[in-house]
Amino acid sequence: MTMRSIEIYDTTLRDGTQGEGVSLSLQDKLNIAQRLAEMGIDFIEGGYPLSNEKDTAFFEQVRKLDMGSSRVCAFGMTRRRSMKAEDDPGMKALVAAQTPAVTMVGKTWDYHATEVLGVSLDENLDMIGESVAFLKRHADVLYDAEHFFDGWKANPKYAAQTLQAAVDAGAGWVVLCDTNGGSLPEEIAEIVGQVKQQLADTNVTIGIHCHNDSELAVANTLAAVDAGANQVQGTINGIGERCGNVDLISAMANLALKKKGYQVLGGQPLTHLTELSRYVYETANLQWRSGQPFVGQSAFAHKGGMHVHAVNKSASTYEHIDPATVGNERRILVSELSGRSNIIALTTKHDLQDDKELMNKILAEVVRLENQGYQFESAGASFDLLVKRLAGTFTSHFQTIKYRIVAGDRDAQNKVAFAEAIVKLQVGDVLWFDAAEGHGPVNALDAALRKALQDTYPELSEMRLLDYKVRVVDSGAGTAAHIRVNIESGDKHDTWGTIGVSENIIEASWKALVDAFEYKLHKSKTSTPQQPAEF
Amino acid sequence: MTMRSIEIYDTTLRDGTQGEGVSLSLQDKLNIAQRLAEMGIDFIEGGYPLSNEKDTAFFEQVRKLDMGSSRVCAFGMTRRRSMKAEDDPGMKALVAAQTPAVTMVGKTWDYHATEVLGVSLDENLDMIGESVAFLKRHADVLYDAEHFFDGWKANPKYAAQTLQAAVDAGAGWVVLCDTNGGSLPEEIAEIVGQVKQQLADTNVTIGIHCHNDSELAVANTLAAVDAGANQVQGTINGIGERCGNVDLISAMANLALKKKGYQVLGGQPLTHLTELSRYVYETANLQWRSGQPFVGQSAFAHKGGMHVHAVNKSASTYEHIDPATVGNERRILVSELSGRSNIIALTTKHDLQDDKELMNKILAEVVRLENQGYQFESAGASFDLLVKRLAGTFTSHFQTIKYRIVAGDRDAQNKVAFAEAIVKLQVGDVLWFDAAEGHGPVNALDAALRKALQDTYPELSEMRLLDYKVRVVDSGAGTAAHIRVNIESGDKHDTWGTIGVSENIIEASWKALVDAFEYKLHKSKTSTPQQPAEF
């Protein structure tokens, strides 16, 4: 079968940053651009050079990087009304960005031209044509047709004219944007098909740019490709305004691995997708979405016991793709329900297969702890430590002699709260007694632990606490209930989860903290970077 | 146009709880079931009665609730091999649940029958038919065809036979499950169309049950409905194993508001969807997804730089639907206008309608607090106190001079943790200084507060803390993040919710505790039992 190559156009650095809570520094943007280029992404939209100095600086600096075969694009709008293209500050900024390609957005929807821009329908066509023609002297031009599908539904003839204006002026791509994200797959298929007919005699590439407001961005993108689009625009992890852009991760994985007849990224394997997804989350300081299709931590996680037994027997019949094809991993979640087959799957790396007695001890301990409120599914590091303890291969790096926190208000009238912690630890033959303040008691305990351990274990400086979760396990008991604390920690290689349960939230937090530190210290002893449990 | 009514079948309480980190108490499940019934959801799957005692108890207790027109279902599997249906413990548990309908899952895929169950293809058909026939004597039977689409692709003839076995034995519904979540919309459409032909001469309803592993669950569900399915199974917010089930929120909104020719929930408006989504997140102690289609906080958020004026002028050209149709709100991020209509609605009982200046003060205060992480949806009592404070009708029953907690381990070796609190309060002209121990710091603070206040306010003896919830608001910051504490309190008349937010979990808890006590004391002064906020 001949494979159609679908171009991948990333706008994480521009449309992605419109997302609520998304903010990237100049260096973040350069780092992500570099990573996208290493993946072989065809087009990388770097920003909107007129809008801010950071984006202007980005285009200056990205020129110094080796971007391989990726083409960096600057983004801008059509010239303003009643102004020549060559005099327009936005046009000038696009040219000054010196990118091999520029992406220019224009109005498709008659209402937006007349009511938002306040220009006649003819002047809007002139603005599109003249802007494209001007930019074409400096770079390849991609034309983004804003509100394309809504505009087409309102006035198809005029929408077609806007595309024609761009094509006649030399645009090499017309990108059909579902700006409000409200279109349905059947509408996308129908309209892209009509545009394909309109442009049948040209060499213009049709692109598709979807938003996820109806939770249909991926389906809409695939429908457009089936109908003739050869370029897909989106963002890594689907970050973006409102409900986000289409997630390029899902779009690429579906095109290359699930649909028939398409290839992306020159047919390379997609084994770096998971790493790319997490890199972008980490750089943007956003939480991973554990249920994210293809690359989420839970995407190939198996919970129910019967299920797990069968997964071990024939994974492919319980997984829609092999997780390794996207660089992800199968995880077997430990839970009371899952029984022995889960535990066996989880402990393979500990080499305990033949020790039935030990396996039974582990299972009994998991059940005992789960009855207290433990849940190991998000606490793979605590589980690994538990196995080591029961197997006799655990050596503690420090012993707690004492810990204590004091918290309250320094000044109740002015609401100045405080938290202080002291810890007394034995590390080898040395006793360490240290104190620290913190934003709250757990933060103070973390700080005091680091102070007491940093001389002996300098590698702790690269460990960070990423997330802290609290859950009341048997909430009927009010403030006397059991409290479960989960801590997620990370360094530059891995992330790992630990857990503590107690009626006392301070004690629960302390247990989870101690496990987090012990796991890091155990991990650093192994010569090769170790994956934090095979969960 | 004649509208086709699409049945909505919710499995949040069963398949949803397979999601990683999802855990619901018995009371949580009853509360959610009640809320689903109030929404008019057609079928509510409550659990798997054989699997655990909690689900057994659920079915006993849900019978005492008014579920309106909603039908509660118990879930189970076909009888075991080599056993009569009436002797099978799973079958017996299904009957014992005494639900008006039962949902029974069986194997479609020949491989799974022979390799996972270890039965012949004929015996699998017998297991399906005999189990349905047995259950049919007690309740309506829905047959969930596991791995239906993968099974069909592997062996369409056998897959059709499994459905026929269920139909011949009396199943009223056959629900086609994309168990691994890997099917594409065009495959779903094609196969559902063929099943529709197969069952053309019967009255059997075809259902669709999708998972989101390819980020296509919503599109697959819509494709199935277009091809003839009349029941949609899914979960609220799409919680569920791996990447989750189809989100019923998105499915219902697309069917009723975007597609043509369908209605759900008897054609009622969907204005409670946002509230329902958030209720389920809160009850399950899960984070809201701000970018969630239709109901997320960012779903209709317009960022600062954009033409706010234009949005206000003609919102429909910037939004794919009116947010009010799903109970959501437009948010203009720069001017923080969110919530005004809520606040007006919420303050009606305080009789403030004419005091515009006070309304503006309340609004400003709510916005300020929401930026700190407050959310008043589950804290009506704190909101009422806030209004009283700003209206000048609040009189405090006690003033905090000082509070302090100490927590740690009395004996680290034997893991004996402790928590102690001291409080110093001014009550009228008297200073009270008291100390108490507790299971944890919050329990100790609660006990100390009671000691200091009990002589002056004996009515506090009838007040209990019912629930304590902790949520990290900006979890990216690890243990230095803002922490939101919600406390639910009750006496024999009412229950009421209060809230506190701080970087310090002790301070956040203290604020919520103080509000809980103040609300009780304000309440006892009024002659008639007062409902705690109209949230």
pLDDT tens column, A269-287: 999 999 899 889 877 767 7
% of chain B with per-residue pLDDT over 90:
66
Higher pLDDT pick, A103 / B307: A103
Whole-prediction pTM: 0.75
User: What is the three-class DSSP state of B518?
Assistant: helix
Q: Tens digits of per-residue pLDDT, B222-236?
A: 999 999 999 999 999
Taking 3-state DSSP, the helix, strand and coil percentages for chain A, each rounded to the nearest 5, stand at 45, 20, 35
Q: Of A405-414, B47-56, B180-189, give the lowest mean pLDDT range.
A: A405-414
Write down the H helix ranges in B169-247.
185-198, 217-226
Phi, psi of A173 (to 5 degrees): -135, 140
Assess contact for B213 and A293: CB atoms under 8 A.
Answer: yes
CB of A292 within 8 Å of a chain B CB? The answer is yes
pLDDT band at B347 (very low <50, low <70, confident <90, very high): low
Q: List chain A residues with CB under 8 Å of B25.
A: 474-476
The span from the CA of B259 to the CA of B271, in Å, is: 17
- Mean per-residue pLDDT, A345-355: 67
Q: Is B23 on the interface with A (CB under 8 A)?
A: yes
SS3 (DSSP) at B76: strand
Cβ of B529 under 8 Å from any chain A Cβ? no
Helix, strand, coil percentages (3-state) for chain B, rounded to 5, are 45, 20, 35
Q: Report pLDDT for B528.
A: 41
Least confident of A136-140, A315-319, A499-503, B495-499: A315-319
Q: What is the mean pLDDT of residues B455-468?
A: 89
- Helix and strand numbers (H, E) in chain A are 17, 18
Q: Inter-chain contact A291–B212, Cβ cutoff 8 Å?
A: yes
- Residue B525 tokens read as 């002064």
Token duo for residue A464: 């960070």
pLDDT for the residue B18: 87
Of the given ranges (A189-203, A510-524, B120-134, B480-494), which has the lowest mean pLDDT? B480-494
Which chain A positions have a beta carbon within 8 Å of B109's beta carbon? Answer: 317
Q: One-letter amino acid identity for B375?
A: Q
Q: How confident is the model at residue A533 (pLDDT cuts 50, 70, 90)?
A: very low
Under an 8 A CB cutoff, do B244 and A291 touch?
yes
Q: What is the CA radius of gyration of chain A?
A: 28
Which residues are bridge partners to B44 per DSSP?
B10, B72
| φ and ψ at residue B357, rounded to 5 degrees | -65, -45
Predicted local confidence at residue A415, as pLDDT = 67
Mean pLDDT of B20-25: 82
User: Cβ contact (<8 Å) for B115 and A258?
Assistant: no
Strand, helix or coil at B362?
Answer: helix
> What pLDDT digit, counting tens, does each position of B388-413 carry?
999 888 989 999 999 999 999 876 66
Cβ–Cβ gap A408/B409 under 8 Å: no
pLDDT at site A379:
85
Amino acid present at B26: L
Range list of β-strands (E), B88-150 = 101-107, 140-146
Statement: residue B331 has pLDDT above 90: no
Token output for A328: 């992800």
Residue B319 in contact with partner chain A when CB distance is under 8 A: yes
Could you read off the pLDDT of A391-422 as tens digits, one per residue? 888 989 999 999 999 999 876 666 678 999 99
Which residues of chain B have a CB within 8 Å of the CB of A184?
Answer: 222, 254, 258-259
Place of tokens 């799409």: B238
CB contact under 8 A, A402 and B409: yes
Interface membership of B112 toward A (CB under 8 Å): yes
CA B463/CA B520 separation, integer angstroms:
8
The pLDDT score that the predictor gives to residue A450 is: 95
Task: Give the neighbor-by-neighbor strand order of the sheet with A483-490.
Answer: A464-472, A483-490, A495-502
Confidence category of residue B450, pLDDT binned at 50, 70, 90: very high
pLDDT 10s digits, A450-498:
999 999 999 999 898 887 888 777 644 455 578 889 898 888 777 888 9
Contacts of residue A59, defined as CB under 8 A and 6 or more positions apart, other chains included, come to A46, A47, A49, A72, A74, A96, A97, A98, A99
Alpha-helical regions (H) of B304-459: 308-313, 340-346, 356-372, 380-391, 441-453
Predicted confidence (pLDDT) per residue in B421-448, tens digit: 999 999 999 999 999 999 889 999 999 9
- Say if B330 is an interface residue toward chain A (CB within 8 Å): no
Q: How confident is the model at residue A526 (pLDDT cuts 50, 70, 90)?
A: low
Mark yes or no for CB contact A218/B222 under 8 Å. Answer: no
Q: What is the largest CA-CA distance in chain A?
A: 84
Q: Which pLDDT belongs to residue A128?
A: 98
User: Which pLDDT score, from 0 to 100, does residue B453 have?
Assistant: 96
**Does B336 score more than 60 pLDDT?**
no
Task: Give which of A438, A495, A442, A436 is closest to A468, Cα–Cα.
Answer: A442
| Alpha helices, DSSP H, located in B256-355 | 273-283, 308-313, 340-346
Question: What is the rounded CA–CA span in Å between residue A246 and residue A243?
Answer: 9
Distance CA(B86)–CA(B95), nearest Å, equals 10
Q: Count Cβ neighbours within 10 Å for each residue of A407-446 and write b for 16 or more, e otherwise.
A: bbbeebeeeebbbbbbbbbebeeeebebbbebbbbbbbbb
Contact B314 A115 (CB under 8 A): yes
Buried b (16+ CB within 10 A) or exposed e, B390-401: bbeeeeebbebe
**Residue B336 phi/psi, 5° resolution?**
50, 55
B305 chain-A contacts, CB cut-off 8 A = 51
What's residue B344's pLDDT?
A: 57
Q: Do A4-263 and A398-456 show the same overall fold?
A: no
Amino acid at A437: E
Residue that wins the pLDDT comparison between B301 and A424: A424
Residues 374-413 of A with CB under 8 A from B: 375, 377-378, 399-409, 412
Q: Is B318 in the A-facing interface, judged by CB distances under 8 Å?
A: yes
Contact A301 B21 (CB under 8 A): no
CB contact (8 A) between residue B440 and residue A503: yes
Distance of CA B263 to the CA centre of its chain: 23
Of B182, B247, B441, the CB nearest to A320: B182
**Which of B88, B467, B322, B124 is closest to A472 using CA atoms?**
B467
B297 contact residues in A (CB cutoff 8 A): 20
pLDDT beyond 80 at A347: no
Cα maximum dimension of chain B = 86
Q: Check CB contact of A517 with chain B, cutoff 8 Å.
A: no
Query: In the predicted model, is pLDDT for residue A59 greater than 50?
Result: yes
CA A509 to CA A446: how far, in whole Å?
10
Whether the pLDDT of residue A364 is over 90: the answer is no
Q: Residue A84: helix, strand or coil by DSSP?
A: coil
What is the DSSP code string of A333-392?
Answer: ---TTTHHHHHHHHTGGGT-TT-HHHHHHHHHHHHHHHHHT--GGG-HHHHHHHHHHHHT
- Cβ–Cβ below 8 Å for B21 and A378: yes
Average pLDDT over residues B309-326: 81
The answer to whether the beta carbons of residues B217 and B211 sit under 8 Å apart is yes
Q: State the pLDDT confidence band at B310, using cuts at 50, 70 and 90.
A: low
Collapse the DSSP code of A190 into the 3-class scheme (helix H, G, I; strand E, B; otherwise coil) and give the result: helix
Joined together, the tokens standing for residue B162 give 């499994």
Q: Strands B140-146, A4-5: parallel, antiparallel or unpaired by DSSP?
A: unpaired
Question: B439 exposed, middle or buried (CB, 10 Å; 0-12, 13-18, 19+)?
Answer: buried
On whether any CB of chain B is under 8 Å from the CB of A431, the answer is no
Query: What percentage of residues in chain B have a pLDDT greater than 70?
Result: 89
CATH 3.20.20.70 holds for A4-263 = yes
Phi-psi region of A409 (alpha: psi -120 to 50; beta: other; left: phi over 0): beta
Q: Which of A487-491, B51-55, B148-152, B524-528 has the highest mean pLDDT?
A: B148-152
Token pair of B207 as six digits: 């259902």
Residue B163: the pLDDT is 98
Q: Which residue of A has its CA nearest to B284?
A: A471
Instruction: Give yes or no for B464 touching A (CB within 8 A).
Output: yes
Pairing of strands B416-427, B205-210: unpaired
Task: Give the C-alpha separation, B215 to B221, whole Å.
Answer: 12
DSSP three-state, residue A193: helix
User: Which residue does chain A place closest to B118, by CA atoms?
Assistant: A310
Given CB atoms, is B262 within the 8 Å cutoff of chain A? Answer: no
Q: What is the CATH number of domain A398-456?
A: 3.30.160
Q: Are A45 and A73 in contact (CB under 8 A)?
A: yes
Asked if residue A349 has pLDDT above 70, the reply is no
Residue B199 distance to chain A (closest CA, Å): 26
Top mean pLDDT of A112-121, A329-338, A355-364, B375-384 is at A112-121
Q: Which residue has the tokens 């189990």?
A: B131
pLDDT recorded at residue A375: 78
Q: Which of A83-87, A154-158, B161-165, B305-309 has the lowest mean pLDDT?
A: B305-309
Per-residue pLDDT for A83 more than 80? yes
Cβ(B483)–Cβ(B470) under 8 Å? yes
A66 pLDDT more than 50: yes
Are B404 and A405 an interchain contact pair (Cβ–Cβ within 8 Å)?
no
Note whether B20 contacts A333, CB cutoff 8 Å: yes
Q: What is the mean pLDDT of residues A183-211?
A: 98
Q: What is the pLDDT of residue A336?
A: 46
pLDDT in the model for residue B412: 61
pLDDT, greater one: A128 or B414: A128
Q: Give me the residues paired with residue B464 across strands.
A: B490
Q: A318 and B250 in contact by Cβ < 8 A?
A: no
Interchain CB distance below 8 Å, B403 and A412: yes
> If you count residue pairs, one on A and one on B, with CB atoms under 8 Å apart, how many are there?
350
**Cross-chain residue pair A412–B402, CB shorter than 8 Å:** yes
Question: Do A470 and B475 make contact, defined as CB atoms within 8 angstroms?
Answer: no
User: What are the start-end ranges of the H helices in B392-469?
Assistant: 441-453
Can you give the residue ranges of every domain in chain B? 4-263, 398-456
* Per-residue confidence (pLDDT) for residue A365, from 0 to 100: 86
Residues B254, A216: C-beta atoms closer than 8 Å: yes
Q: How many CA atoms lie within 13 A of B481 on its CB side?
A: 21
Residue in chain A nearest B248 by alpha carbon? A215
Residues in chain B closer than 8 A to A300 (CB atoms): 242
Q: With CA atoms as reference, report the closest residue to B404 among A424, A435, A405, A436.
A: A405
pLDDT (0 to 100) of residue B532: 39
Confidence of residue A306 (pLDDT cuts 50, 70, 90): low
Instruction: Give the mean pLDDT of chain B.
Output: 88
CA distance B121 to B28: 40
Rounded CA gap, B413 and B305, in Å? 59
* pLDDT for position B32: 96
Q: Which residues are bridge partners to B247 per DSSP? A: B235
Q: What is the DSSP letter of A243?
A: T
A247 touches chain B (CB under 8 A): yes
Residue of B nearest to A470 (CA): B470
Lowest mean per-residue pLDDT among A432-446, B157-171, B210-224, B458-472:
B458-472
